[in-house]
Structure 1
Amino acid sequence: MKRALLIAALLLAAHGAPAQGYIPASRAEDTGGCMSPEYWEQWNPAEQARIDRDIERHRKADGEVTLSDIAAGSEVRIEQISHDFVFGAHIFNFEQLGKKEYNDRYKELFGTLFNSATVAFYWKTLEPEPGRPRFGGEYRDSEAFWNEQQRPWEQPHWRRPATDRVVDFCKSRGIRTHGHVLIWGNRRWHHPEWLPDFMTPEERVRWDGFFTPDGRLTEEYPRMGLDELERTFARYADTLEYLYDKRIRDIAARYGERIDSWDVVNESATDEERGVILPGRRLCKSGYGLMPGDYPYRALKSAEKHFSAGVALNINDYRREPVYARQVNELLRRGCKIDIMGVQMHLFDPRASLAIAEGRGPQSPAEVRSYLEELSAPGLPLHLSEITITAPGTDERSRTIQAVIARNLYRLWFSCERMMGITWWNVVDDCGAPGEPSASGLFTRDMQPKPVYHALDGLINGEWTTRLAARPDERGTVRFRGFRGRYRISWTDRSGQEQSKEYHLK
């Protein structure tokens, strides 16, 4: 501890702020005062010790390997080579960063820091024309095309790379893939512009009356009752049911088990809370606009029908209140296959990060434990599926604040019994969707690592990776405790030859 404090003091004396890779892990080490005393009172030594105990209990297991040919007195080297826990990120900026060197650094993260990639399957940009999905891509999806773009964010397929290329890349690296998203009502990001083209002329006239020129819902939509909506849009209701099922069927047929898990339904808990998701109805008067009746149930049933049993089906939401757990429990009661609950946590507003640093913001240990306990009620694995932690600025102190918040939250999330994975959202600064913060990445726009990258790398590839040397007993059995995952066990046999084998610690 004294050595760490001395190093920190020297860095502050030389530069006036913490160095790029220096992340205070406690109040005593935060000699630059990037976090307030009130923050460290929340993340106090007793809280940190509790997190450590829970990590030990929930993320580790006891291993036992017997080596019948080991030389007498030989040491056994135990090296973890992969994690069972999912450490992911979305891969929406694949080959879109403008320079080959940037793209190469970005790709290298998958397999070194991240073992899982969330692949963009937004309907609007995957299938801009009906029946012609962009699975394989074209020149406009190539690295050469993106290297020519001075304003890449103006392209309609920015952050939406052709899916075949991304999946092929991930499989070549042994990276777990997660598809996002199959069914979502959002008309800005997900619904194709051409869906209303399948309406009858009479339906289209009524539909157009529901929206202002800038796409907002008019008062006519909320005034119309569900019975009248179903009569008015009877033909469209049939079409929606067919097209939603067809989308899931076509994607399942193309990718099979090459994609390990899917967000089947996204952000439907608010409709559940409003009481508009009604079994047996042909349409849902969703807050998004018209959706197929009982759409979360139908989507999950359609996915279960078209995907094999080995593909995990997720439901995903930003709601962390009890309504989400109640919705999942009800869908399970009705016989839906839900393997994982996705939970979002976006600190988009830089002021939220400043408030956290001052000890008065969201995501305190007590708040996190409370909502994770509520969401654990259905008994399903939890996936923190979309994580955004924004630096309050671009100076070094702001970036250190981002790193400290991320380090402590990752530790707490990792310690949760039900947690199976954590997925960072925007990896690179200034590469998010319009309206998302520009300073929430792990890297700057020119792919230079920020302190938050060093914080996560230090956890994933440092503290949470087991490397041991052990002596076997007289029967050649070595016992150890480590983080769950795959290991390389190495030893010298009786003939003096080096041997190794893989071992999965579950």
Structure 2
Amino acid sequence: MTASVRRVTATVTLTDDDGRPLARRDVTVRQRRHAFEFGCVGTHPGETDTHVQRAWLDVFDTATLPVYWGRYEPVRGEPRRAELEQAARWHADRGVRLKGHPLVWHTVKAPWLDTLPLSEVEQLLRARIRREVTDFAGLIDVWDVVNEAVIMPRFTNEPDGVPNAITRLCAEIGRVELVRLAVEEARAAGTSPRLLINDFDLGPEYEQLVEDLLAAGVEIDAIGLQSHMHKGFHGEERLLEVCERFARFGLPLHWTETTLLSGEHVPREIEDLNDHVVDDWPSTPEGEERQAEEIVRHYTTLVGHPAVHSITYWGIEDGGWLDAPSGLLRRDGSPKPAYDALRGLVRGEWWVDERADRTDEEGRLEVEGFAGTYEVRVGTATAELELGPDQESHAALRVG
């Protein structure tokens, strides 16, 4: 399997506004965005675009925005909608697709929820889901609907000693019914969101959960697969094995949380990555070369699998998650070799730069490249096209 599975050949017919073919006209064609989602945790918007923001936009076209309940609504009844909307609009205005993460999770949940009776917890959770999906419809229409459901009913990390409300609810009604609750509420407003379940457990329990959800008629749109490789790169064989196991369900696969280190790896004996806490965790020259090689192997392997529709890198800068040297930029904002390597794929080897062409006597031309959004230009007139495999497209341009 190679990235060539993403390449398309499309026949495009160009006409003027009156439907007359633009025959034997000089045309320029350039790609604007991939159909495949190359994602990253969203960057921080500001009044002017910074170096980091420009670096982000020069590689990524899909942003995951944090909507953790405990941070979004730390005080009951006071959601931070304006902050999230500002971040969402900044990305959307620059042509970036958006996903909200997550609607339901047992971690970073609202602490004021834990002391409430389960009946009230369920009603508040339902309202929270419907509110966020409705408030951001048309802006954020993709959501990690439930995060890490496999471990959820047995989650016991309760540092304040108060039983976790989301854990209790999941244990009471079961994983399948919790996901059903979340999916039904997310779809209740009729806004047609695209909903993923997402997990770090890529073993038999997660497979069984997906199987049980589909058998129960729970409508999920994609399967999220996490890949925080802090103990070392998984390798092509394991990546493909995971893809094959989950591809059998016939749903798109999204590799939702990817990290590769450019510093020392986490010791193998540490089970929970959150437990690895060190005073200093630097990026090293040797680690950076390794990270660059591994990111090419990782992305090339996954982009080459037809069931994979999306890869999200979990933070562009070092220290963004668990203070690890997992970013593509160093702490001072300078690019690592891994940044250049990934950009060389996404906006280089897998990208169609502007190229000249000419229509035939019927106003047609063939476009070859990677599936996605393309701009065609005749003189000063332009049109955008979505090109997929072996399809015919039509564009009408207002030409002088």
TM range (shorter): 0.7 to 0.9
| Partner SS for 2:339 | helix
Q: What amino acid sits opposite 1:56 in the alignment?
A: S
Is residue 108 of structure 1 aligned with residue 29 of structure 2? no
Tell me, in whole angstroms, the C-alpha distance in 2 between the residues paired with 1:253 and 1:502: 29
Q: CA deviation at 1:476?
A: 3.2
Tell me, in whole angstroms, the C-alpha distance in 2 between the residues paired with 1:485 and 1:117: 17
Q: Which residue of 1 aligns with 2:129?
A: 248
Q: CA deviation at 1:117?
A: 0.9
* 1:354-393 equivalent positions in 2, closer than 5 A: 362-392=233-263
Q: Which residue of 2 aligns with 1:265?
A: 146
Q: CA deviation at 1:56?
A: 1.6
Higher strand residue share:
2
Q: Which residue of 2 aligns with 1:150?
A: none
| Partner SS for 1:426 | coil
Answer yes or no: is the 8 Å Cα contact 1:348–1:437 preserved in 2: no
Answer yes or no: is the 8 Å Cα contact 1:314–1:340 preserved in 2: yes
Tell me, in whole angstroms, the C-alpha distance in 2 between the residues paired with 1:422 and 1:431: 18
Tell me, in whole angstroms, the C-alpha distance in 2 between the residues paired with 1:260 and 1:420: 16
> How many residue pairs end up in the alignment?
351
1:76 maps to which of 24, 27, 40: 27
1:415 maps to which of 289, 292, 304: 304
Q: Which residue of 2 aligns with 1:128?
A: 74
Q: Which residue of 1 aligns with 2:347?
A: 461
Q: What amino acid sits opposite 2:118 in the alignment?
A: A
Answer yes or no: is the 8 Å Cα contact 2:375–2:383 preserved in 1: yes
Q: CA deviation at 1:366?
A: 1.3
Q: What amino acid sits opposite 1:406 in the alignment?
A: I
Is residue 56 of structure 1 aligned with residue 4 of structure 2? yes
Q: Which residue of 2 aligns with 1:290?
A: 168
Q: Which residue of 2 aligns with 1:176?
A: 97
Tell me, in whole angstroms, the C-alpha distance in 2 between the residues paired with 1:288 and 1:500: 51
Answer yes or no: is the 8 Å Cα contact 2:22–2:362 preserved in 1: no
Q: What amino acid sits opposite 1:191 in the alignment?
A: K
| Partner SS for 1:183 | coil
Answer yes or no: is the 8 Å Cα contact 2:236–2:297 preserved in 1: no
| Partner SS for 1:182 | coil
Answer yes or no: is the 8 Å Cα contact 1:315–1:338 preserved in 2: yes
Q: Which residue of 2 aligns with 1:479?
A: 366
Q: What amino acid sits opposite 2:225 in the alignment?
A: V
Answer yes or no: is the 8 Å Cα contact 1:128–1:193 preserved in 2: yes
| Partner SS for 1:259 | coil
Residues 390 and 411 (structure 1 numbering): CA distance in 2 closer, same or farther, change over 3 Å? Answer: same
Q: CA deviation at 1:129?
A: 1.0
Tell me, in whole angstroms, the C-alpha distance in 1 between the residues paired with 2:227 and 2:54: 25
Answer yes or no: is the 8 Å Cα contact 1:89–1:427 preserved in 2: yes
Tell me, in whole angstroms, the C-alpha distance in 2 between the residues paired with 1:466 and 1:237: 54
Structure 1 residues not aligned, in runs of 5+: 1-49, 137-161, 199-235, 275-284, 353-361, 492-496
Q: Which residue of 2 aligns with 1:503?
A: 385
Q: CA deviation at 1:499?
A: 4.1
Is residue 239 of structure 1 aligned with residue 120 of structure 2? yes
Answer yes or no: is the 8 Å Cα contact 1:390–1:437 preserved in 2: no
Q: CA deviation at 1:423?
A: 0.6
Cα-to-partner distance string for 1:180-217 (whole Å, 9 max, x where unaligned): 0110112xxx222211343xxxxxxxxxxxxxxxxxxx
Q: What amino acid sits opposite 1:445 in the alignment?
A: R
Residues 498 and 427 (structure 1 numbering): CA distance in 2 closer, same or farther, change over 3 Å? Answer: closer
Q: CA deviation at 1:287?
A: 11
| Partner SS for 2:374 | strand
Answer yes or no: is the 8 Å Cα contact 1:314–1:341 preserved in 2: yes
Q: CA deviation at 1:71?
A: 6.1
Answer yes or no: is the 8 Å Cα contact 2:114–2:165 preserved in 1: no
Cα-to-partner distance string for 1:143-171 (whole Å, 9 max, x where unaligned): xxxxxxxxxxxxxxxxxxx3122112122
Answer yes or no: is the 8 Å Cα contact 1:252–1:307 preserved in 2: no
Tell me, in whole angstroms, the C-alpha distance in 2 between the residues paired with 1:315 and 1:414: 20
Tell me, in whole angstroms, the C-alpha distance in 2 between the residues paired with 1:245 and 1:456: 39
Cα-to-partner distance string for 1:234-282 (whole Å, 9 max, x where unaligned): xx1211111110111221232122102000100012358x8xxxxxxxx
Q: Which residue of 1 aligns with 2:41?
A: 90
Tell me, in whole angstroms, the C-alpha distance in 1 between the residues paired with 2:164 and 2:114: 16
Answer yes or no: is the 8 Å Cα contact 2:115–2:165 preserved in 1: no
Cα-to-partner distance string for 1:384-411 (whole Å, 9 max, x where unaligned): 1111111125232221110110011101
Tell me, in whole angstroms, the C-alpha distance in 2 between the residues paired with 1:243 and 1:67: 53
Q: Which residue of 2 aligns with 1:300?
A: 183
Answer yes or no: is the 8 Å Cα contact 1:325–1:377 preserved in 2: no
Q: Which residue of 2 aligns with 1:452?
A: 338
Cα-to-partner distance string for 1:340-389 (whole Å, 9 max, x where unaligned): 1111000124xx2xxxxxxxxx5221111111100112111111111111
Identity fraction in percent? 29
Cα-to-partner distance string for 1:22-69 (whole Å, 9 max, x where unaligned): xxxxxxxxxxxxxxxxxxxxxxxxxxxx42xxx223x12221112355
* 1:6-85 equivalent positions in 2, closer than 5 A: 50-51=1-2, 55-57=3-5, 59-67=6-14, 70=22, 72=24, 74-85=25-36
Tell me, in whole angstroms, the C-alpha distance in 2 between the residues paired with 1:444 and 1:307: 43
Q: Which residue of 2 aligns with 1:327?
A: 209
Is residue 317 of structure 1 aligned with residue 203 of structure 2? no
Q: Which residue of 1 aligns with 2:228?
A: 346
Tell me, in whole angstroms, the C-alpha distance in 2 between the residues paired with 1:376 and 1:67: 38
Larger radius of gyration: 1
Q: CA RMSD in A?
A: 2.4
Higher helix residue share:
1
Answer yes or no: is the 8 Å Cα contact 1:110–1:117 preserved in 2: no
Residues 92 and 171 (structure 1 numbering): CA distance in 2 closer, same or farther, change over 3 Å? Answer: closer
Q: What amino acid sits opposite 2:182 in the alignment?
A: A
